[in-house]
Chain A
Amino acid sequence: QQQVKQSPQSLIVQKGGISIINCAYENTAFDYFPWYQQFPGKGPALLIAIRPDVSEKKEGRFTISFNKSAKQFSLHIMDSQPGDSATYFCAARAGGFKTIFGAGTRLFVKA
């Protein structure tokens, strides 16, 4: 119930293409869903986040789509760039502090 399942494990996208990462959860107590970006040797950094009362949130080239009934959410990276190559983690939080992370998606954008 505490898990957040993330797919795919790895993703290769051409420059300019769309990267899509999917996540699913079971615990309906989760009420905040952040996405993190992590570069090698660095800690995760918040990219974008959504609450379940919203079905979509867009910030620049990054969009979260949220389907509350299906308990699924996804990250879309439009016009993917080589600098986007990193590991992306979806996450979920209940009660404001304990964050549960997915296993991560390693994205590589080919120039």
Chain B
Amino acid sequence: GAGVSQSPRYKVAKRGQDVALRCDPISGHVSLFWYQQALGQGPEFLTYFQNEAQLDKSGLPSDRFFAERPEGSVSTLKIQRTQQEDSAVYLCASSMTSGLEYNEQFFGPGTRLTVL
């Protein structure tokens, strides 16, 4: 595709519901990243995949957050038992090669999650 796409663009969930956020990276991009952006703040790193391998998940806030990329392309970020503090924009980014090179990360438009 032309760029990184994310769906849904907006998600409203009741507290306690599970949500799944999807990221379609740029075709052929090896690396995929998830970030959380709270209102008025900079993005915060959540997790990183190189192909299907999740190499770093140190930024995931709790064990309610889970990310996968089973075939090394599309990725899903799942949040279980959502809480109000999970309300944020979730950004996905992809880059061409693996983490040790300074390749540009291309960001998607994000999914705005609101937990009521």
Contacts and interface: CB of A to CB of B under 8 A. Distances in A.
A83 interface: no
A60 interface: no
Nearest to A102: B42
A44 interface: yes
Nearest to B48: A97
Contacts of B33: 97, 99
Contacts of B40: 103-104
Contact of A99 (B41, B45, B109): B45
A98 B45 contact: yes
A61 interface: no
A98 B48 contact: yes
Given A93-B102, A96-B99, A97-B56, A43 B42 contact: no
Contact of B110 (A6, A43, A101, A104): A43
Nearest to A32: B102
Nearest to A51: B102
A97 B99 contact: yes
Contacts of B56: 97-98
B104 A46 contact: yes
Interface in A53-111: 89, 91, 93, 95-104
A42 B109 contact: yes
Nearest to B58: A98
A21 B107 CA distance: 22
B66 to A, nearest CB: 19
Interface string B84-97: 00000001010100
Interchain residue pairs A-B with the least CB separation, the first 8: A43-B107, A101-B42, A97-B99, A96-B100, A96-B99, A89-B42, A46-B104, A32-B102
Interface of A: 6, 32, 41-46, 49, 51, 89, 91, 93, 95-104
